[in-house]
Amino acid sequence: MTYPGARLNLLVVDDEEQILELLDLTLSMQGFQVFPAANGPAALAQLARHPVDVIVMDVLMAPWDGFDTVRRMYDVRGATLPPVVFLSGLARPAVMPELGDGVVSEYVVKPFRPSQLVEVIERVHLRAQGGSG
């Protein structure tokens, strides 16, 4: 369920405060409802509290990295886990780690343009809904 007037509800997770604030501001200005979280445990709490359409997840974080955080979310939500957009300063791994059965994900390498991130968010959401993309 998306809030009125919002494009999609996003859970945005990054352990760097400045990047989290920038993503929150940028995506909010694009019409998204943003629920920020500064780490994996906070992301699990946000996911339990809010309806989320897409998760935007930094890869390199502590105490859990982005992949581990998504695996923990999958343990809680299973097949109802929203699609995930991973953000990283590192190149996409040759083989993506196992996240959970049926988890839809995309991988975006930093730096990226806000418009590029918006396109990926909308594309992964459409794919998760069974559309093409």
pLDDT tens-digit series, residues 33-60:
999 999 999 999 999 999 999 999 999 9
- The answer, as to whether pTM is greater than 0.95, is no
Domain presence at residue 54: yes
Q: What is the CATH number for 54?
A: 3.40.50.2300
For residue 130, the model assigns a pLDDT of: 86
Domain presence at residue 53: yes
Element holding 13 (H helix, E strand)? strand 9-13
For residue 108, pLDDT over 80 is answered with yes
Q: How far apart are CA 125 and CA 116, in angstroms?
A: 14
For residue 6, the model assigns a pLDDT of: 57
Q: How far apart are CA 55 and CA 77, in angstroms?
A: 13
Overall domain count for the chain: 1
Domain presence at residue 3: no
Domain presence at residue 51: yes
Domain presence at residue 1: no
For residue 132, pLDDT over 80 is answered with no
Strand partners, 56: 12, 85
For residue 29, the model assigns a pLDDT of: 95
β-strands 84-88, 33-37 pairing: unpaired
Q: How confident is the model at residue 95 (pLDDT cuts 50, 70, 90)?
A: confident
Domain presence at residue 4: no
Average pLDDT of the residues of the chain: 92
Domain presence at residue 80: yes
Range of the domain at 34: 9-128
